[in-house]
Structure 1
Amino acid sequence: MKGREGVIGRVRAWRHDWHKRSKLQRIDLYSRVTLCSVTWFLALSWGFLPLLTTLDRGPAAMTLAGAFLAVNITQSVVSNLNVTAAYAHYRGVEPFPARRLRLSAVLLLATTVLLVALAASDAVQGEELILLVLGLPVAFSVPYVLLVPVRSFLLRSAAFGLIVVGLLAAVGLPGEQLLGASVSLLVVALLVLVSARPSIWSLTVMWQAEEARHMQARLAVAEERLRFGRDMHDVLGRNLSVIALKSELAVELAQRGNPAAVDQMIEVQRIARASQQEVRDVVRGYREADLPTELMGARGVLQAAGIAVTVEGADGPAGIGAPAAVQAALGWVVRETVTNVLRHGDPSHCWIRLSRTRDAVVLEVENDGAGADGGPGPDGGSGSGLAGLGERLGAIGGSVSAGPAGDDRFRVTATVPLDARVPDAPSGLTAPTDPTEER
């Protein structure tokens, strides 16, 4: 019973780990597992089945066959261990240690010698020998094709083929079988080349595209920060300089007993209050952007992250035509929910829908890739995003709900009455953080 529970637990852990991976990570894992599986498939078919003919050909033939099979299996294990490192080398992540290739080369030499010995002793003949030749270099070639240029791989494969055919000719293999061995070695070299290298090349291109999307999103956030910094500098820079100069003048006048110092400080006070109001206006522009602006910003950020966006209903009275107070509230919902779409799950598509009832506007933000368990809530299970939205909309008579929507989707629904009057933002609510920092 405990054994079965342990197996079930491991299966659940594997399933959970699989769902935690992004789509690109799943493709990456699938491709590498496929390469490793091809090695074992050929080792246990072309490299094993022909050896069954040695069972009735004496102890020497059986011993050679057993040694060949053991070395071939060892070569497959070493090849699987080298695939990930060779892939990292191909992507330019880290260089492949040359020492790891030495053992594989020694094992290839050993299987070649054993194959020639099997042919010399007539332990395997005809089609069985051709099948062994066909699977001979596969385990070594799968990682090796990722380590060298295509031209070098083809030239070295041709040189290896000439050596094998020469050794087989030296032990008296007939010309017909030599031709078959030559064709087999050529076919397997091309097979490995056109199957392994294009697959890994495609993965590399996808990873580069993913990194470019992340960089684009980070650049968009950096550009917005620079814009905010420029606005703050334009608002405060001149006023602070004037305040500093008038304060110095007031100090000098006060030291001389000149009553004009009071007039200068009154002017400083006026400028300081005006600066406070200007700062509030700048911050309000970022915190209370209207709905069309937020929808355009959401589309740009999501598309920069490689997520397709569909916006429905934004061109009617429920969208741009809604009252300014309603737009401000819904704009905050769009900003917060889009941030959480980027943070959680592995979405490939996001739907933003606006609709109007008799007395309210309804906004739905839905995304796929939420995971088998429906995905985390808008606050990720630990933050205050959902609670903050609920408090903000509750203050104007609105509401917000969130939860799984089926088919691996997650949906946030916000309702705002058309007669809403948005109060000042609660002090506890701050502008959303950079969505790329928690991806």
Structure 2
Amino acid sequence: MGAATLTDGGSEVRGPVRWWRGKSTPAKVETYTRWSFHFFVVVEVATFGLPAFSEVPAPTAGWLLLMVCAHAAACAVTASRALDWTRGRREQPVRLLWGLAAITAVIAATAIAVEELGPAGDGVDSAAGALFAGVLCYGAGVITLGVRDRLRAFAVVGGFAAASGILALPAGASGPGALGAMLAVLVGAGFLASTSMFSVWLLNAVYELDEARETRARLAVAEERLRFGRDLHDVMGRNLAVIALKSELAVQLARRGRPEAVDQMTEVQRIARESQREVRDVVRGYREADLGVELAGAQGVLTAAGIRCEVSGEADGLPAEVQSALGWVVREATTNVLRHGDAGRCAVALRVTPEHVVLTVENDGAGGPPGEGGSGLTGLRERLTAVDGTLEAGSVAEDRFRVVATVPLPTAPAVSEVVA
């Protein structure tokens, strides 16, 4: 048929980049959120563990680093399970949350002990004090991922701030020193807890928006089915009513022995055959369609789904059979953009030359590997074949998908290309 798959042989991306582009927007946001919390683990180790080697004797610094790594690992596991719970994939990790709180308290108490009983020196006190405040802040920030409402999150932050004062006072800290520790933990834990809560809110919002977008896509498909149902009703409703009336009239005439009954049944037979032909036209999609209406409808539906749609070109003056065939291309391409991939932009261009008409539909967010898919494109090729047209469809330039329909014109109209 002259159809070809558009591919960019040199643009096939492998490895992590292709894996990332194959994800939907919500999946990308979730992956980014998870790795952000895993990056916090690295920050915790780099901030409170590694600097100890420059300020504390080697054996003590090694123990401090080991404690920081243990706490960071516990935070990473707890954050991952808490995010799973947030998305409804697991039960609330209550044991992990209490376990992280216990590990945090033990390490904080150990840091205080090192500061009071460990080797003398300002470096030891500084490293131990930083570790003390750091584990409390990070512990509170991660634990808030596993609670549902704000009051409990505030209670977690306040509890860890109070715990810092409770641990500091018996260790010999002065009243202002203990108050300063509480304030530092309150600010640091509050910041990390707010970050955690905002991350969860953003992740849930993205998933909800994606679900709303899928709902709009399903509604668009349902609207198309309703339109098909209305077309079928328009075809069959009147004809069936006429058939019923003429059949009843033929029965009455036949009972009276009048010859007009034969004429009425002949008319019923004609209407039945005409209805059968019209139903075939509706089912097969060969009824004439207004390409201009289809272009405007596609732009409206895609815009409502949050996809920026640009339409260029004019369909005025094209033969009815050409408009009908290209109208179905617009419908099918619009449905594919809504139901597949993760498009943010779609461009529809209609170009008319003296020899042929070219309709191009291109969208981004195609994701997956290059190639064609679905039976819809096969159906479009069958419709285009009826008007000697061709269809080319496939991935181009990384994540973009393009559909190009070309239909020759039976006559040679003047060249018209209007950009809207």
User: Counterparts of 1:116-265 in structure 2 under 5 Å?
Assistant: 116-123=112-119, 125-146=124-145, 147-174=147-174, 177-233=177-233, 235-237=235-237, 239-240=239-240, 265=265
Shift of 1:106: 2.2
Shift of 1:343: 4.9
Aligned to 1:29: 31
Distance 1:387 1:278 in 2: 23
Counterparts in 2 of 1:399 and 1:220: CA distance versus 1, 3 Å = closer
Q: Secondary structure at the match of 2:215?
A: helix
Bigger mean CA deviation after superposition, 104-113 or 394-403: 394-403
CA deviation map 1:349-393 (0-9, x unaligned): 11111222233222221222344x8x534x32xx45555544543
Distance 1:184 1:74 in 2: 23
Distance 2:25 2:48 in 1: 34
Counterparts in 2 of 1:406 and 1:223: CA distance versus 1, 3 Å = closer
Q: Which has the higher contact order (CA 8 A, sep 6+)?
A: 2
Aligned to 1:350: 346
Selected match of 2:392 from 393, 401, 419: 401
If the length of structure 1 is used for normalisation, what is the TM-score? Answer: 0.76
Shift of 1:12: 4.8
Bigger mean CA deviation after superposition, 275-284 or 160-169: 275-284
Counterparts in 2 of 1:69 and 1:259: CA distance versus 1, 3 Å = farther
Q: Which amino acid aligns with 1:275?
A: S
Aligned-residue identity in percent: 44
Q: Secondary structure at the match of 2:300?
A: helix
CA deviation map 1:214-240 (0-9, x unaligned): 111212222332343344345435655
Shift of 1:289: 1.5
User: Counterparts of 1:28-427 in structure 2 under 5 Å?
Assistant: 28-50=30-52, 53-55=55-57, 62=60, 66=62, 69-90=65-86, 95-123=91-119, 125-146=124-145, 147-174=147-174, 177-233=177-233, 235-237=235-237, 239-240=239-240, 265-266=265-266, 268-280=268-280, 282-283=282-283, 288-314=288-314, 319-371=315-367, 375-377=369-371, 379-380=372-373, 383-406=374-397, 408-419=399-410
Counterparts in 2 of 1:91 and 1:400: CA distance versus 1, 3 Å = closer
Distance 1:275 1:387 in 2: 27
Shift of 1:42: 1.1
Distance 1:163 1:237 in 2: 78
Distance 1:191 1:280 in 2: 66
- Contact conserved, 2:309 with 2:347, CA < 8 A, in 1? yes
Counterparts in 2 of 1:414 and 1:220: CA distance versus 1, 3 Å = closer
Q: Secondary structure at the match of 1:111?
A: helix
Q: Which amino acid aligns with 1:81?
A: V
- Contact conserved, 2:82 with 2:93, CA < 8 A, in 1? no
Distance 1:68 1:25 in 2: 37
Counterparts in 2 of 1:238 and 1:312: CA distance versus 1, 3 Å = closer
If the length of structure 2 is used for normalisation, what is the TM-score? Answer: 0.79
Bigger mean CA deviation after superposition, 293-302 or 42-51: 42-51
Distance 2:214 2:234 in 1: 30
- Contact conserved, 1:333 with 1:389, CA < 8 A, in 2? yes
Distance 1:142 1:156 in 2: 9
Aligned-pair Cα RMSD in Å: 3.6
- Contact conserved, 1:402 with 1:410, CA < 8 A, in 2? yes
- Contact conserved, 1:243 with 1:271, CA < 8 A, in 2? yes
Runs of 5+ in structure 1 lacking a partner? 1-10, 422-439
- Contact conserved, 1:47 with 1:135, CA < 8 A, in 2? no
- Contact conserved, 2:140 with 2:160, CA < 8 A, in 1? no
Shift of 1:30: 1.0
Distance 2:227 2:362 in 1: 30
Distance 1:263 1:358 in 2: 51
Aligned to 1:434: none
Runs of 5+ in structure 2 lacking a partner? 1-12, 413-420
Distance 2:376 2:131 in 1: 63
CA deviation map 1:173-209 (0-9, x unaligned): 3556435423321221122033222233222222211
Distance 2:212 2:229 in 1: 25
- Contact conserved, 2:137 with 2:185, CA < 8 A, in 1? no
Shift of 1:21: 0.4
